[in-house]
Amino acid sequence: MQRQAYNQPPAHSPPLHHPVPQHVSTVPQLRSPPPPQPPSQPQSGYGYAGQQGVPAQGGGGYGSTMQPPFGNFMNDPAAQMGLQFGRSAMDAGQHYMEQNLGRYVSVSALKHYFNVSNSYVVSKLSIVLFPWWHKPWSRQQRLSNNGQDGYYLPPREDVNSPDMYIPMMAIVTYILLSTLLAGLRGAFHPELLGYTATLALVVLALELAIIKLGTFLLNITSSSQLLDLIAYSGYKFVGVIISLLLSELLAHLGIGGSWVSWVVFLYVFSANAFFLLRSLRYVLLPDQGQGGVGGSAAGYTVARSQRNKRTQFLFVYSYVVQFGFMLWLSRV
Amino acid sequence: MVLFGFGGLIYVSVLLINAVAILSEDRFLARIGWTSAAAEPGFGGQRDDASVKARLVQFISSVRTLMRIPLMFINTILIVYLIILG
Protein backbone atom coordinates (compact mmCIF):
# COMPACT_ATOMS: atom_id res chain seq x y z
CA MET A 1 0.00 0.00 0.00
CA GLN A 2 1.07 3.55 -0.33
CA ARG A 3 3.52 4.99 2.11
CA GLN A 4 2.69 8.36 3.62
CA ALA A 5 5.98 9.86 2.49
CA TYR A 6 4.69 10.15 -1.04
CA ASN A 7 2.51 12.91 -2.33
CA GLN A 8 -1.12 12.39 -2.82
CA PRO A 9 -1.93 11.03 -6.24
CA PRO A 10 -3.32 13.61 -8.60
CA ALA A 11 -7.01 13.80 -8.65
CA HIS A 12 -7.45 12.38 -12.11
CA SER A 13 -4.75 9.72 -12.13
CA PRO A 14 -5.32 6.82 -14.49
CA PRO A 15 -7.24 3.88 -13.10
CA LEU A 16 -4.30 1.48 -13.72
CA HIS A 17 -1.68 1.59 -11.00
CA HIS A 18 1.04 -0.62 -12.42
CA PRO A 19 3.94 0.67 -14.44
CA VAL A 20 4.01 0.61 -18.22
CA PRO A 21 5.31 -2.82 -19.34
CA GLN A 22 8.78 -2.63 -20.79
CA HIS A 23 8.91 -5.99 -22.49
CA VAL A 24 8.72 -4.77 -26.08
CA SER A 25 12.14 -3.17 -26.08
CA THR A 26 13.71 -5.06 -28.97
CA VAL A 27 14.77 -1.91 -30.79
CA PRO A 28 16.34 0.51 -28.39
CA GLN A 29 15.40 3.65 -30.26
CA LEU A 30 11.78 2.74 -30.69
CA ARG A 31 9.45 4.96 -28.83
CA SER A 32 6.21 3.46 -27.71
CA PRO A 33 3.15 5.63 -27.71
CA PRO A 34 2.83 7.25 -24.34
CA PRO A 35 0.35 5.64 -21.98
CA PRO A 36 -2.77 7.66 -21.31
CA GLN A 37 -1.70 10.23 -18.80
CA PRO A 38 -3.44 13.16 -17.29
CA PRO A 39 -1.86 16.46 -18.25
CA SER A 40 -0.85 17.19 -14.66
CA GLN A 41 1.88 14.56 -14.76
CA PRO A 42 5.42 15.88 -14.41
CA GLN A 43 7.54 15.98 -17.55
CA SER A 44 9.95 13.33 -16.42
CA GLY A 45 7.16 10.84 -16.16
CA TYR A 46 6.42 11.29 -19.82
CA GLY A 47 10.07 10.91 -20.66
CA TYR A 48 10.25 7.67 -18.71
CA ALA A 49 7.26 6.18 -20.39
CA GLY A 50 8.53 7.07 -23.83
CA GLN A 51 12.03 5.77 -23.37
CA GLN A 52 12.50 2.20 -24.38
CA GLY A 53 16.20 1.97 -23.84
CA VAL A 54 15.99 1.54 -20.12
CA PRO A 55 16.61 -2.04 -19.20
CA ALA A 56 13.68 -3.98 -18.04
CA GLN A 57 15.12 -4.60 -14.61
CA GLY A 58 14.53 -0.99 -13.65
CA GLY A 59 10.84 -1.24 -14.36
CA GLY A 60 10.55 -4.70 -12.93
CA GLY A 61 12.40 -3.87 -9.77
CA TYR A 62 10.24 -0.88 -9.22
CA GLY A 63 7.06 -2.83 -9.80
CA SER A 64 7.87 -5.50 -7.30
CA THR A 65 8.76 -3.32 -4.37
CA MET A 66 5.92 -0.83 -4.13
CA GLN A 67 2.45 -0.27 -5.45
CA PRO A 68 1.98 3.49 -5.77
CA PRO A 69 0.21 4.91 -8.74
CA PHE A 70 2.31 5.49 -11.80
CA GLY A 71 2.96 9.14 -11.37
CA ASN A 72 4.43 8.96 -7.87
CA PHE A 73 7.50 7.07 -8.96
CA MET A 74 8.91 10.10 -10.70
CA ASN A 75 8.86 12.18 -7.61
CA ASP A 76 11.49 10.06 -5.94
CA PRO A 77 14.79 11.73 -6.77
CA ALA A 78 16.95 8.72 -6.06
CA ALA A 79 15.06 6.58 -8.49
CA GLN A 80 15.21 9.34 -11.04
CA MET A 81 18.94 9.65 -10.69
CA GLY A 82 19.34 5.90 -10.96
CA LEU A 83 17.26 6.01 -14.10
CA GLN A 84 19.36 8.71 -15.66
CA PHE A 85 22.52 6.87 -14.81
CA GLY A 86 21.23 3.66 -16.28
CA ARG A 87 20.13 5.38 -19.42
CA SER A 88 23.43 7.12 -19.96
CA ALA A 89 25.35 3.91 -19.26
CA MET A 90 23.33 2.06 -21.85
CA ASP A 91 23.86 4.78 -24.40
CA ALA A 92 27.57 4.90 -23.75
CA GLY A 93 27.87 1.15 -24.04
CA GLN A 94 25.97 1.11 -27.27
CA HIS A 95 28.02 3.91 -28.69
CA TYR A 96 31.25 2.15 -27.75
CA MET A 97 30.10 -1.08 -29.33
CA GLU A 98 29.04 0.60 -32.53
CA GLN A 99 32.29 2.44 -32.81
CA ASN A 100 34.58 -0.49 -32.20
CA LEU A 101 32.64 -3.25 -33.79
CA GLY A 102 32.04 -1.22 -36.89
CA ARG A 103 35.74 -0.92 -37.39
CA TYR A 104 36.40 -4.64 -37.68
CA VAL A 105 33.21 -6.09 -39.00
CA SER A 106 31.11 -4.14 -41.42
CA VAL A 107 27.72 -4.67 -39.91
CA SER A 108 25.73 -3.38 -42.84
CA ALA A 109 27.35 -5.87 -45.17
CA LEU A 110 26.52 -8.62 -42.72
CA LYS A 111 22.94 -7.47 -42.57
CA HIS A 112 22.68 -7.94 -46.31
CA TYR A 113 23.56 -11.57 -45.87
CA PHE A 114 21.03 -12.21 -43.19
CA ASN A 115 18.20 -10.63 -45.09
CA VAL A 116 16.47 -13.92 -45.83
CA SER A 117 12.95 -15.13 -45.88
CA ASN A 118 11.44 -18.52 -45.24
CA SER A 119 10.76 -19.26 -48.86
CA TYR A 120 14.31 -18.33 -49.72
CA VAL A 121 15.70 -20.76 -47.17
CA VAL A 122 13.55 -23.59 -48.43
CA SER A 123 14.37 -23.02 -52.07
CA LYS A 124 18.05 -22.55 -51.35
CA LEU A 125 18.22 -25.81 -49.45
CA SER A 126 16.54 -27.59 -52.33
CA ILE A 127 19.05 -26.02 -54.71
CA VAL A 128 21.96 -27.20 -52.61
CA LEU A 129 20.65 -30.74 -52.40
CA PHE A 130 19.20 -31.04 -55.91
CA PRO A 131 21.11 -28.58 -58.02
CA TRP A 132 20.18 -29.92 -61.43
CA TRP A 133 16.61 -28.82 -61.05
CA HIS A 134 17.61 -25.19 -60.92
CA LYS A 135 17.85 -23.27 -64.12
CA PRO A 136 19.14 -19.69 -64.06
CA TRP A 137 22.23 -19.40 -61.91
CA SER A 138 23.27 -15.82 -62.37
CA ARG A 139 22.86 -13.34 -59.61
CA GLN A 140 20.61 -10.47 -60.32
CA GLN A 141 21.77 -6.97 -59.99
CA ARG A 142 19.93 -3.79 -59.80
CA LEU A 143 21.16 -0.35 -60.57
CA SER A 144 20.92 1.76 -57.51
CA ASN A 145 19.17 5.07 -57.59
CA ASN A 146 22.06 7.42 -57.16
CA GLY A 147 23.74 6.42 -60.37
CA GLN A 148 26.62 4.27 -59.19
CA ASP A 149 26.84 0.91 -60.81
CA GLY A 150 24.61 -1.82 -59.64
CA TYR A 151 24.73 -3.91 -56.53
CA TYR A 152 23.48 -7.38 -55.99
CA LEU A 153 20.00 -8.06 -54.80
CA PRO A 154 19.65 -9.34 -51.25
CA PRO A 155 18.88 -13.01 -50.70
CA ARG A 156 15.28 -12.23 -49.98
CA GLU A 157 14.68 -11.28 -53.60
CA ASP A 158 17.20 -13.40 -55.45
CA VAL A 159 17.54 -17.12 -54.92
CA ASN A 160 20.99 -17.19 -56.43
CA SER A 161 22.45 -14.79 -53.94
CA PRO A 162 24.54 -16.39 -51.21
CA ASP A 163 23.49 -15.78 -47.66
CA MET A 164 25.10 -16.37 -44.31
CA TYR A 165 22.09 -17.64 -42.47
CA ILE A 166 22.10 -21.15 -43.89
CA PRO A 167 25.85 -21.67 -43.55
CA MET A 168 25.87 -20.41 -39.99
CA MET A 169 22.99 -22.63 -38.99
CA ALA A 170 24.53 -25.53 -40.83
CA ILE A 171 27.87 -25.16 -39.07
CA VAL A 172 26.28 -25.01 -35.64
CA THR A 173 24.06 -27.96 -36.44
CA TYR A 174 27.03 -29.90 -37.72
CA ILE A 175 28.96 -29.29 -34.51
CA LEU A 176 26.06 -30.33 -32.34
CA LEU A 177 25.16 -33.29 -34.50
CA SER A 178 28.62 -34.75 -34.63
CA THR A 179 28.96 -34.36 -30.87
CA LEU A 180 25.58 -36.00 -30.43
CA LEU A 181 26.56 -38.92 -32.63
CA ALA A 182 29.78 -39.31 -30.72
CA GLY A 183 27.78 -39.35 -27.54
CA LEU A 184 25.47 -42.02 -28.89
CA ARG A 185 28.49 -44.12 -29.61
CA GLY A 186 29.67 -43.61 -26.05
CA ALA A 187 32.74 -41.62 -27.01
CA PHE A 188 31.72 -38.21 -25.76
CA HIS A 189 33.95 -35.88 -23.86
CA PRO A 190 33.36 -32.17 -23.51
CA GLU A 191 36.36 -31.10 -25.51
CA LEU A 192 34.78 -32.71 -28.51
CA LEU A 193 32.65 -29.64 -29.02
CA GLY A 194 35.72 -27.48 -29.18
CA TYR A 195 37.51 -29.89 -31.48
CA THR A 196 34.62 -30.03 -33.91
CA ALA A 197 34.26 -26.28 -33.90
CA THR A 198 37.94 -25.91 -34.60
CA LEU A 199 37.68 -28.45 -37.37
CA ALA A 200 34.84 -26.59 -39.06
CA LEU A 201 36.66 -23.29 -38.79
CA VAL A 202 39.87 -24.80 -40.12
CA VAL A 203 38.06 -26.25 -43.12
CA LEU A 204 36.52 -22.86 -43.84
CA ALA A 205 39.84 -21.08 -43.49
CA LEU A 206 41.66 -23.59 -45.68
CA GLU A 207 39.06 -23.34 -48.41
CA LEU A 208 39.22 -19.59 -48.30
CA ALA A 209 43.01 -19.73 -48.51
CA ILE A 210 42.86 -22.07 -51.50
CA ILE A 211 40.44 -19.86 -53.37
CA LYS A 212 42.40 -16.73 -52.61
CA LEU A 213 45.62 -18.38 -53.65
CA GLY A 214 43.99 -19.62 -56.81
CA THR A 215 42.69 -16.22 -57.74
CA PHE A 216 46.09 -14.70 -57.12
CA LEU A 217 48.07 -17.26 -59.02
CA LEU A 218 45.74 -17.36 -61.96
CA ASN A 219 45.45 -13.60 -62.10
CA ILE A 220 41.72 -13.54 -61.74
CA THR A 221 40.37 -10.13 -60.96
CA SER A 222 36.96 -10.64 -59.55
CA SER A 223 34.99 -8.40 -57.34
CA SER A 224 33.59 -11.09 -55.12
CA GLN A 225 33.40 -10.38 -51.46
CA LEU A 226 35.04 -12.37 -48.73
CA LEU A 227 31.71 -13.17 -47.16
CA ASP A 228 30.47 -14.59 -50.44
CA LEU A 229 33.26 -17.12 -50.45
CA ILE A 230 32.68 -17.99 -46.82
CA ALA A 231 29.01 -18.49 -47.60
CA TYR A 232 29.75 -20.77 -50.52
CA SER A 233 32.08 -22.81 -48.36
CA GLY A 234 29.44 -23.09 -45.70
CA TYR A 235 26.88 -24.69 -47.95
CA LYS A 236 28.71 -27.96 -47.90
CA PHE A 237 27.88 -28.38 -44.23
CA VAL A 238 24.27 -28.90 -45.25
CA GLY A 239 25.33 -31.88 -47.31
CA VAL A 240 27.54 -33.21 -44.56
CA ILE A 241 24.69 -33.00 -42.06
CA ILE A 242 22.36 -34.87 -44.38
CA SER A 243 24.97 -37.51 -45.02
CA LEU A 244 25.69 -38.03 -41.32
CA LEU A 245 22.01 -38.16 -40.41
CA LEU A 246 21.05 -40.56 -43.13
CA SER A 247 23.91 -42.91 -42.58
CA GLU A 248 23.23 -43.01 -38.85
CA LEU A 249 19.50 -43.54 -39.32
CA LEU A 250 19.98 -46.25 -41.88
CA ALA A 251 22.54 -47.95 -39.72
CA HIS A 252 20.05 -48.01 -36.89
CA LEU A 253 17.31 -49.34 -39.08
CA GLY A 254 19.68 -52.01 -40.24
CA ILE A 255 19.31 -51.41 -43.96
CA GLY A 256 22.39 -52.41 -45.88
CA GLY A 257 26.00 -52.34 -44.88
CA SER A 258 28.55 -49.59 -44.98
CA TRP A 259 28.06 -49.03 -48.69
CA VAL A 260 24.76 -47.25 -48.01
CA SER A 261 26.53 -44.47 -46.17
CA TRP A 262 29.02 -44.31 -49.03
CA VAL A 263 26.23 -43.94 -51.57
CA VAL A 264 24.62 -41.18 -49.57
CA PHE A 265 27.94 -39.44 -49.14
CA LEU A 266 28.78 -39.64 -52.83
CA TYR A 267 25.39 -38.25 -53.80
CA VAL A 268 25.67 -35.37 -51.40
CA PHE A 269 29.23 -34.71 -52.51
CA SER A 270 28.31 -34.61 -56.18
CA ALA A 271 25.34 -32.35 -55.50
CA ASN A 272 27.56 -29.97 -53.60
CA ALA A 273 30.24 -30.08 -56.28
CA PHE A 274 27.71 -29.27 -59.00
CA PHE A 275 26.30 -26.45 -56.94
CA LEU A 276 29.74 -24.99 -56.37
CA LEU A 277 30.68 -25.41 -60.00
CA ARG A 278 27.70 -23.42 -61.11
CA SER A 279 27.94 -20.80 -58.44
CA LEU A 280 31.66 -20.21 -58.48
CA ARG A 281 31.67 -19.90 -62.23
CA TYR A 282 30.68 -16.33 -61.79
CA VAL A 283 33.35 -15.76 -59.21
CA LEU A 284 36.33 -17.49 -60.74
CA LEU A 285 35.59 -16.97 -64.41
CA PRO A 286 34.29 -13.46 -64.47
CA ASP A 287 34.57 -12.88 -68.17
CA GLN A 288 32.12 -15.58 -69.00
CA GLY A 289 29.28 -13.82 -67.34
CA GLN A 290 27.43 -10.87 -68.79
CA GLY A 291 30.06 -8.50 -67.55
CA GLY A 292 30.52 -8.54 -63.79
CA VAL A 293 29.66 -5.76 -61.44
CA GLY A 294 32.59 -3.49 -61.96
CA GLY A 295 34.88 -6.47 -62.19
CA SER A 296 36.10 -6.97 -65.71
CA ALA A 297 36.90 -3.87 -67.68
CA ALA A 298 35.54 -3.46 -71.14
CA GLY A 299 37.53 -5.31 -73.73
CA TYR A 300 39.37 -7.47 -71.22
CA THR A 301 40.45 -10.45 -73.19
CA VAL A 302 41.84 -13.53 -71.62
CA ALA A 303 44.13 -15.86 -73.42
CA ARG A 304 42.79 -19.24 -74.25
CA SER A 305 45.32 -21.06 -72.12
CA GLN A 306 44.40 -18.86 -69.20
CA ARG A 307 40.77 -19.72 -69.60
CA ASN A 308 41.60 -23.37 -69.71
CA LYS A 309 43.71 -23.11 -66.62
CA ARG A 310 40.99 -21.29 -64.78
CA THR A 311 38.40 -23.80 -65.77
CA GLN A 312 40.70 -26.56 -64.68
CA PHE A 313 41.20 -24.84 -61.37
CA LEU A 314 37.46 -24.53 -60.94
CA PHE A 315 36.94 -28.17 -61.66
CA VAL A 316 39.73 -29.29 -59.41
CA TYR A 317 38.49 -27.09 -56.65
CA SER A 318 34.89 -28.14 -56.95
CA TYR A 319 35.51 -31.82 -57.10
CA VAL A 320 38.81 -32.88 -55.66
CA VAL A 321 39.16 -30.35 -52.91
CA GLN A 322 35.57 -30.63 -51.86
CA PHE A 323 35.81 -34.38 -51.81
CA GLY A 324 38.71 -34.21 -49.46
CA PHE A 325 37.05 -31.72 -47.17
CA MET A 326 33.72 -33.41 -47.02
CA LEU A 327 35.34 -36.71 -46.31
CA TRP A 328 37.30 -35.13 -43.52
CA LEU A 329 34.20 -33.55 -42.07
CA SER A 330 32.23 -36.75 -42.26
CA ARG A 331 34.62 -38.77 -40.22
CA VAL A 332 32.91 -38.50 -36.96
CA MET B 1 43.20 -28.76 -24.27
CA VAL B 2 46.08 -27.98 -26.57
CA LEU B 3 44.23 -24.82 -27.57
CA PHE B 4 41.15 -26.68 -28.82
CA GLY B 5 43.02 -28.39 -31.55
CA PHE B 6 44.61 -25.24 -32.85
CA GLY B 7 47.94 -26.20 -31.39
CA GLY B 8 48.89 -28.74 -34.02
CA LEU B 9 47.67 -26.51 -36.78
CA ILE B 10 49.70 -23.54 -35.58
CA TYR B 11 52.73 -25.76 -35.23
CA VAL B 12 52.51 -27.14 -38.75
CA SER B 13 51.83 -23.80 -40.37
CA VAL B 14 54.70 -22.11 -38.57
CA LEU B 15 57.01 -24.89 -39.68
CA LEU B 16 55.91 -24.53 -43.28
CA ILE B 17 56.35 -20.79 -43.30
CA ASN B 18 59.75 -21.21 -41.74
CA ALA B 19 60.65 -23.61 -44.51
CA VAL B 20 59.67 -21.09 -47.16
CA ALA B 21 61.51 -18.30 -45.41
CA ILE B 22 64.85 -19.99 -45.09
CA LEU B 23 65.18 -21.00 -48.71
CA SER B 24 68.36 -19.44 -49.85
CA GLU B 25 67.73 -17.18 -52.75
CA ASP B 26 71.00 -17.25 -54.62
CA ARG B 27 72.05 -20.77 -53.88
CA PHE B 28 68.87 -22.66 -54.36
CA LEU B 29 66.25 -20.66 -56.12
CA ALA B 30 68.59 -19.26 -58.73
CA ARG B 31 69.60 -22.79 -59.60
CA ILE B 32 66.04 -23.76 -60.35
CA GLY B 33 65.35 -20.44 -61.93
CA TRP B 34 62.67 -19.33 -59.55
CA THR B 35 63.93 -15.86 -58.85
CA SER B 36 62.36 -12.72 -60.19
CA ALA B 37 65.42 -11.79 -62.23
CA ALA B 38 65.47 -15.07 -64.04
CA ALA B 39 62.60 -14.25 -66.34
CA GLU B 40 64.55 -12.81 -69.22
CA PRO B 41 62.86 -10.12 -71.23
CA GLY B 42 60.61 -11.62 -73.82
CA PHE B 43 59.91 -10.66 -77.34
CA GLY B 44 59.65 -6.99 -76.97
CA GLY B 45 60.94 -6.23 -73.57
CA GLN B 46 57.68 -7.38 -72.07
CA ARG B 47 58.21 -9.44 -69.00
CA ASP B 48 55.98 -12.40 -68.63
CA ASP B 49 54.21 -11.30 -65.53
CA ALA B 50 51.00 -13.14 -65.60
CA SER B 51 51.88 -16.77 -65.95
CA VAL B 52 51.38 -19.09 -63.07
CA LYS B 53 55.07 -19.64 -62.53
CA ALA B 54 55.88 -15.94 -62.45
CA ARG B 55 53.16 -15.30 -59.95
CA LEU B 56 54.26 -18.22 -57.86
CA VAL B 57 57.77 -16.80 -57.81
CA GLN B 58 56.38 -13.43 -56.84
CA PHE B 59 54.31 -15.01 -54.14
CA ILE B 60 57.24 -16.87 -52.63
CA SER B 61 59.46 -13.82 -52.61
CA SER B 62 56.77 -11.68 -51.05
CA VAL B 63 56.13 -14.25 -48.32
CA ARG B 64 59.82 -14.26 -47.56
CA THR B 65 60.07 -10.52 -47.38
CA LEU B 66 56.99 -10.11 -45.28
CA MET B 67 57.37 -12.91 -42.81
CA ARG B 68 61.06 -12.63 -41.98
CA ILE B 69 60.62 -10.38 -38.99
CA PRO B 70 57.32 -11.68 -37.56
CA LEU B 71 58.68 -15.17 -37.87
CA MET B 72 61.49 -14.29 -35.53
CA PHE B 73 59.03 -13.30 -32.85
CA ILE B 74 56.74 -16.24 -33.42
CA ASN B 75 59.63 -18.66 -33.31
CA THR B 76 60.91 -17.15 -30.08
CA ILE B 77 57.51 -17.44 -28.47
CA LEU B 78 57.11 -21.02 -29.60
CA ILE B 79 60.56 -21.95 -28.34
CA VAL B 80 59.85 -20.46 -24.93
CA TYR B 81 56.47 -22.19 -24.84
CA LEU B 82 57.93 -25.56 -25.73
CA ILE B 83 60.78 -25.24 -23.25
CA ILE B 84 58.50 -24.31 -20.40
CA LEU B 85 55.72 -26.76 -21.13
CA GLY B 86 57.78 -29.53 -22.59
In chain A (332 residues long), the average pLDDT of successive 10-residue segments reads: 55 63 59 56 44 43 49 74 89 81 72 87 89 76 52 78 90 92 87 87 88 80 77 89 89 79 88 86 63 38 72 80 80 69
Here the ipTM equals 0.75
Closest CA to A125 of A227, A271, A250, A269: A271
A to B CB pairs, distance under 8 Å? 27
Residue A282 in any domain: the answer is yes
**Other CB atoms within 10 Å distance of the CB of residue A172:** 13
Closest CA to A264 of A314, A327, A315: A327
List of chain A residues whose C-beta atoms are within 8 Å of the C-beta of residue B1:
191
pLDDT at A28 (0 to 100)? 57
pLDDT at A294 (0 to 100)? 35
Closest CA to A60 of A23, A33, A93: A23
**3-state class (DSSP) for residue A64:** helix
Rounded to the nearest 5 percent, the helix, strand and coil shares of chain A are: 60, 0, 35
Choose among B1, B9, B50: nearest Cβ to A219: B50
pLDDT at A73 (0 to 100)? 60
The amino acid occupying position A107 is V
**Other CB atoms within 10 Å distance of the CB of residue B31:** 10
**3-state class (DSSP) for residue A141:** strand
* Chain B residue with minimum CA distance to A189: B1
pLDDT at A317 (0 to 100)? 78
Residue A252 in any domain: the answer is yes
Choose among B4, B5, B55: nearest Cβ to A217: B55
pLDDT at B49 (0 to 100)? 67
By residue range, what is the domain housing residue A168? 163-288+297-330
Interface touch B6/A217, C-beta < 8 Å: no
Residue A197 in any domain: the answer is yes
pLDDT at A143 (0 to 100)? 55
Q: How far is B80 from chain A (nearest CA, A)?
A: 25
Interface touch A217/B5, C-beta < 8 Å: no
Q: Can you list the positions of beta strands (E) in chain A?
A: 141-142, 151-152
pLDDT at A170 (0 to 100)? 94
pLDDT at B54 (0 to 100)? 79
List of chain A residues whose C-beta atoms are within 8 Å of the C-beta of residue B47:
none
Structural element, H or E, at residue A275: helix A258-284
pTM, two decimal places: 0.66
Residue scoring higher pLDDT (A48 or B5): B5
In degrees rounded to 5, what are phi and psi of residue A230?
Answer: -65, -40
pLDDT at A174 (0 to 100)? 93
**3-state class (DSSP) for residue A82:** helix
Interface touch B4/A195, C-beta < 8 Å: yes
CB A42 within 8 A of CB A75: yes
Choose, out of A204, A212, A219, the residue to mutate when testing the contact with B (most B CBs < 10 Å): A219
Choose, out of B1, B2, B3, B9, the residue to mutate when testing the contact with A (most A CBs < 10 Å): B9
**Total number of domains in chain A:** 1
**3-state class (DSSP) for residue A133:** helix
**3-state class (DSSP) for residue A253:** helix
Cα-based distances in Å from A54 to A20, A49, A64: 12, 10, 17
**3-state class (DSSP) for residue A296:** coil
Residue A280 in any domain: the answer is yes
Structural element, H or E, at residue A151: strand A151-152
First to last CA, chain A: 63
Residue A28 in any domain: the answer is no
Can you say whether residue B5 is alpha, beta or left, with left for phi > 0 and alpha for psi between -120 and 50 degrees?
left
Interface touch B52/A199, C-beta < 8 Å: no
Residue A8 in any domain: the answer is no
Q: How far is B1 from chain A (nearest CA, A)?
A: 7
Residue A143 in any domain: the answer is no
Residue A227 in any domain: the answer is yes
Interface touch B4/A198, C-beta < 8 Å: yes
Closest CA to A75 of A24, A10, A168, A21: A10
DSSP A163-223: -SHHHHHHHHHHHHHHHHHHHHTT---THHHHHHHHHHHHHHHHHHHHHHHHHHHTT----
Closest CA to A212 of A188, A185, A242, A233: A233
Helices (H) and strands (E) in chain A, counts: 12, 2
